[in-house]
Structure 1
Amino acid sequence: MTPEPSWDFYRTFLAVLQHGSLSAAARDLGLTQPTIGRHIDALEDAVGAELFTRSQQGLIPTDAALALRPYAETLASTTAALLRTASGSRDKVSGTVRISASEVIGAEVLPPILAGLQASYPELIVELSASDAVEDLLQREADIAVRMVEPAQEALLSRHIGVIPLGFFAHHTYIERHGKPESLEDLRRHKLIGFDRQTAYIRMMLKRYPVFDGVPFVFRSDHSIAQHNALRAGIGISFLQIPLARRERDLVRLLPEIELPLDTWVVMHENLKTSPRCRVTFDALVTGLLNYIKGNTAGERA
């Protein structure tokens, strides 16, 4: 009987997949390159298939490797969740909690909320995944998530925060150069900042406001923070969360009659509700995001 491969082999396999070479995987894992090579050889022997082929661009995964990838990723997330669970004591707020949030929420909104949380609980360690990809809480890729889509799984505990409104904004230097659009149709003559690929929310926006469909953007990016920084730099007009824009006096609100809703939830697996570190983090996120939506009403530039 072929012995079951060590879990370390799958960790090595995933690192090689992610980095594309034995040497880069070795640096990431703190191992030697020969050790990485032995792990891959042993895993190939165990599964009875070649996992990588060599090319000038590095190691190319075979179909067998691509089929194994989701299972290796599940093992990695499960191991990380196990370590997070083991890191905290049952009776006090300590250890690691992993939070998943969108780029804008993670980079612009959560840091002051988390600063207050960690000031209250110095032994709490926060891992923040700021990405517009939705991480799977059932697979414990994260402990708590701030989501802009309603959770569908029954095993999740969720709190609906409300709607974060989005509006059109431009930097005042852009307005000085190009003037203000007076209508949606008028936007077509302006320089717009937009997306490189359509997400579910963008498709919904296009359905609601078809005038945006086919609009040529002068600046495209899949990264929300890059779009925000392009807006700050005066490149053009873009959508932005209104509570966030109110913090920046150089941004001008345009077409105020147009406001898009961004529904927001804080979500965690129901099995974590008895974990002190997850419970206080969940409550802090709920309170902080409610204040974010309701607060900062002054200082908007007309």
Structure 2
Amino acid sequence: MDWDKLRIFHAVADAGSLTHAGDSLRLSQSAVSRQIRALEDALGTTLFHRHARGLILTEQGELLFDATSTMAKKLDTAAARIRDSEEEVFGELKVTTTVGFGSLWLTPRLSKLYDRYPDLKIDLMLEERVLDLPMREADVAIRMKEPSQADLVRKRLLNIRMRLYATKEYLERAGRPERLEDMRDHRLVSQNTLAPQVQAGAQLTHRIRAQDVRSTLNVNNYFGVLQAVLSHIGIGVLPDYLTIDFPDLERVLPDVESVEVPVFLAYPEELRQSRRVTAFREFVQEEITAYRRQQSSENSVE
């Protein structure tokens, strides 16, 4: 159905006159009349009774006017929300990141974002697969390497390292390793090196396993590794961003760690002006700043 003809019909039905509708639409009376006749022909019905005093809707015309009135109200509401979007943040935002970072760092902090923007709808996709941002598989991505896709706005958030952690209870029971070779007498908890993960984590795990570690627990994501370590099962290979939120973790073998892993936030160039994307980006940056400040404070105490 022709949207332009519906717009003209709605104006005529609302004004009750071809002349008045033409004035509001800046069209001649004859042009308005032609559009109404064309719409009636397309629908195979009469929409108006024509009287000397003006136009009266037929039963079919009333049905169509109800529909166009609903449409007009929705369009007015949408226009108002678009105008207000300079100050408001609402609607759906598709965010993708890794299982580890998303479940262990990002998700616990999202309540602060919802407190600020209660009408925001976040679709959080946690997976190791790199989604295609230019094709809008996601709006925003947080990844453990610089995105290679073109036409993306990207920002380096921080650098992380994979390190060894255990609980005090485990170390009191099993002893604290002093050298890398001592790991052969401990249970190593890590991601399976064949599972999708940052290369630095797999390389560190290979290095430790080369010490002829006798007992291991392989998990396919860092959430599982963390839960095993917190359950005092062994010494785990984990990202260092966990130490702020999980103070029970104690670092083991401080000289053993991976190379730095960059963490990037990226989104399509076409979303640069999106209020949803801007709100999410600023929120993550604020949380990263708070994380760094707390991390620096703890390091100075040590």
TM-score of the two chains, using structure 2 as the length reference: 0.63
Alignment partner, residue 101 of structure 1: 97
Whole-Å separation in 2 of the counterparts to 1:219 and 1:210 = 14
- 2: CA distance, partners of 1:209 / 1:226: 16
Q: Deviation per CA, 1:136-167: give whole Å up to 9, x if none.
A: 21221211011001111221111001212332
Give the letter aligned to residue 148 of structure 1.
M
Q: How far off is 1:117 after superposition?
A: 1.8
Give 5+ residue unaligned stretches, structure 2: 1-80
Q: How does 1:1-302 map to 2 (within 5 A)?
A: 89=82, 91=85, 92-198=88-194, 203-205=199-201, 207=203, 211-214=207-210, 215=213, 218-260=216-258, 261-297=260-296
Q: 1:264 to 1:94 in 2, by over 3 A?
A: same
- Aligned partners of 2:153 and 2:268 also within 8 Å: yes
Q: Deviations over 1:43-76 (max 9, x none)?
A: xxxxxxxxxxxxxxxxxxxxxxxxxxxxxxxxxx
SS in 1 for 2:146: coil
- Does the CA contact (< 8 Å) of 1:161 and 1:290 recur in 2? no
In 1, Cα distance between the equivalents of 2:245 and 2:145? 25
Give the distance between the partners of 1:297 and 1:123, measured in 2 at CA: 34
Displacement after TM superposition at 1:110 (Å): 1.4
Report the alpha carbon displacement of residue 242 of structure 1 after superposing the two structures with TM: 2.6
Deviation at 1:196, TM superposition (A): 2.3
Rounded to whole Å, the distance in 2 between the matches of 1:112 and 1:203 is 25
Q: For 1:196 and 1:112, how far apart are their aligned partners in 2?
A: 25
Instruction: Kindly indicate whether the alpha-carbon contact (under 8 Å) linking 1:96 and 1:124 is maintained by their aligned counterparts in 2.
Output: yes
C-alpha separation in 1, matches of 2:214 and 2:133: 37
What is the CA-CA distance between 1:285 and the residue it aligns to? Answer: 1.6
Matches of 1:209 and 1:106, distance apart in 2: 22
- Is contact 1:106–1:130 with CA below 8 Å preserved after alignment? yes
Rg larger for: 2
Of all paired residues, the percent bearing the same amino acid is 27
Deviation of residue 199 (structure 1)?
5.0
The C-alpha deviation readout for 1:270-298, integer Å capped at 9, x for no partner, is: 11111111121122122222332442456
Q: What secondary structure is seen at the aligned counterpart in 2 of 1:274?
A: coil
* TM superposition shift of 1:254: 0.7
- Quote the residue 2:27 is aligned against: none
Q: What letter is aligned with 1:136?
A: D
Secondary structure of the corresponding residue to residue 256 of structure 1? strand
The Cα RMSD (Å) is 2.8
Between the aligned partners of 1:248 and 1:113, the Cα distance in structure 2 is: 14
In structure 1, runs of 5+ residues without a counterpart are 1-87
Return 187-196 or 230-239, whichever deviates more. Answer: 187-196
Whole-angstrom CA distance in 2 between matches of 1:151 and 1:191: 35
TM-score by length of 1: 0.63
- Tell me if the contact between 1:169 and 1:254 (Cα under 8 Å) persists in the aligned partners: yes
4+ runs deviating over 6 angstroms: 299-302
CA contact (8 A) 1:93 1:124 kept: yes
Give the conservation status (yes or no) of the 8 Å contact 2:162–2:201: no
How many residues are paired up? Answer: 216
Give the letter for the 2:179 counterpart: S
The residue matched to 1:157 in structure 2 has which SS? strand
